[in-house]
Structure 1
Amino acid sequence: MGHSQYDPAVRGRKAWNAGRQVGAKRPLKPRQVWQIRFFLDREGRLRDRALFDLAIDSKLRGCDLIRIKIGTLVIGSQILTRAMVLQQKTGRPVQFELMSDARASLLAWLERRGGTIDDYAFPSRIDPTCHMSTRQYARLVDEWVTAIGLRREEYGTHSLRRTKASIIYKATGNLRAVQILLGHTKIENTVRYLGVDIEDALALSEGTEI
């Protein structure tokens, strides 16, 4: 049973979100992406570099990212330039590209990791036959962002999902393309996700002369 706001017992009790950063997490800027890559390379963290690059390029939710199997990413001994997964939330397929940096880091990691096409690309620390947990992934993201001086309260796993989508939108203004890349069923969801407001709309309009 919950408490009523009028109950004496709740007087002086802090709100659940007191002192917490709520709302959408910030996307990373290109400079911050490279700072994290430099940090991971310097520390020799092959798995984390591959996971980070895949998260940026795939634009997947954390629950979909950690479930990716090796067979989704490779063909023979090569990393695919494009891959596709079935989203857990929507049940719909979504495609994504793998750029040269992601292909290189994934190849280095998978050669070290070994396994078969039916194995998860990023296994659990506890049970190698299972995939990494979303909680472990979230802890890693916290570690990465704090390593380059960012506040973990302002960034999270969704920051990585939003990063490339935000850059593409700012460069093109093409909401439909971003909707497809994120796998959203409604464009209204993409608008809210990117935080598109009247200032964005006016800036795009002002940049277009007829």
Structure 2
Amino acid sequence: MPRVQLPAVTPIHKAWNKGRIIGQKRPLFPRQVWAIRARLELAGHLRDKAVFNVAIDSKLRGCDLVKLAVADLVKDGRVRERVSVIQSKSKKPIQLELTENTRDTVFEWVRSPEMIGCRFMFPSCFRDRPQISTRQYGRLVRDWVKAIGLESSGYGTHSMRRTKAAEIYRKMGNLRAMQLLLGQTKVNSTVRYLGVELENAHRIAERIDL
């Protein structure tokens, strides 16, 4: 009896990105920033409010944000308006500014009982870690956006980094300024990061005389 060759059956696997929003994470709009800030204020989550405010103002990558030490932001009992940080990715310094609201939050946080003897700005709840991890930071971001009714898969730690930069760009249209504020070495990287349309980017770049 002749053998019948059956066609090979390829198992169907569920796509890893099915149902997920992939690609660049969205920045928050000002009204969303204030909605999250208000919820953290009402909940009395002082550490998380400090993390959120510093993240928005500093525009730091998550790996650099979680490593901030108290001494980086506070000197002689006062919170600095401007802070210089060496970036983990580029090994180059970047200067960041802290608004009055953020400075007030940081000052209140570092004077709280939870911060006694802490070296890092955002200590972890786990005893084996001196500061929160980037994974913990990512979970915080997801909790914040879900709390105000946003789809958490569309946002992440880079949303915090992009939020203020995107708002400044909308008002100024200055790519060179954004490049410096984000600590990026190439304008092309800034263009992609901010989601700037190429033609718009060229028009702006033509107006910038370096």
Fold similarity call, TM over 0.5: yes
Give per-residue Cα distances to partners, 1:151-172, cap 9 Å, x unaligned.
1011111101000000111111
Per-residue deviation at 1:76? 1.1
User: In structure 2, what is the Cα distance between the partners aligned to 1:138 and 1:50?
Assistant: 15
In 2 relative to 1, CA 128–11 (structure 1 residues): closer, same or farther, beyond 3 Å?
closer
Per-residue deviation at 1:114? 3.1
Supply the AA of the counterpart residue of 1:140: L
Is residue 2:33 matched to residue 1:33?
Answer: yes
Q: Give matches, 1:42-191, under 5 Å.
A: 42-112=42-112, 113-115=114-116, 119-127=119-127, 130-191=130-191
Does the Cα contact within 8 Å between 2:27 and 2:163 map onto a contact in 1? yes
Does the Cα contact within 8 Å between 1:119 and 1:129 map onto a contact in 2? no
Range that drifts further, 13-22 or 97-106: 13-22
- Of all paired residues, the percent bearing the same amino acid is 49
Supply the AA of the counterpart residue of 2:92: R
5+ residue gaps, structure 2: 1-7, 206-210
Number of residue pairs the alignment of both structures matches: 197
Supply the AA of the counterpart residue of 1:29: F
Highest Rg: 1 or 2? 2
Which residue is 2:3 aligned to? none
User: In structure 2, what is the Cα distance between the partners aligned to 1:10 and 1:32?
Assistant: 45
User: In structure 2, what is the Cα distance between the partners aligned to 1:62 and 1:16?
Assistant: 24
Task: Give 3-state SS (helix, strand or coil) of 1:130's partner.
Answer: coil
TM-score by length of 2: 0.88
Does the Cα contact within 8 Å between 2:67 and 2:131 map onto a contact in 1? yes
In 2 relative to 1, CA 89–204 (structure 1 residues): closer, same or farther, beyond 3 Å?
closer
Does the Cα contact within 8 Å between 1:60 and 1:182 map onto a contact in 2? yes
User: In structure 2, what is the Cα distance between the partners aligned to 1:9 and 1:141?
Assistant: 42
Task: Give 3-state SS (helix, strand or coil) of 1:26's partner.
Answer: coil
Per-residue deviation at 1:131? 1.3
In 2 relative to 1, CA 52–128 (structure 1 residues): closer, same or farther, beyond 3 Å?
farther
Does the Cα contact within 8 Å between 2:26 and 2:154 map onto a contact in 1? yes
Task: Give 3-state SS (helix, strand or coil) of 1:20's partner.
Answer: coil
TM-score by length of 1: 0.88
Does the Cα contact within 8 Å between 1:66 and 1:133 map onto a contact in 2? yes
In 2 relative to 1, CA 9–194 (structure 1 residues): closer, same or farther, beyond 3 Å?
farther
Give per-residue Cα distances to partners, 1:16-40, cap 9 Å, x unaligned.
2222111011100011100011000
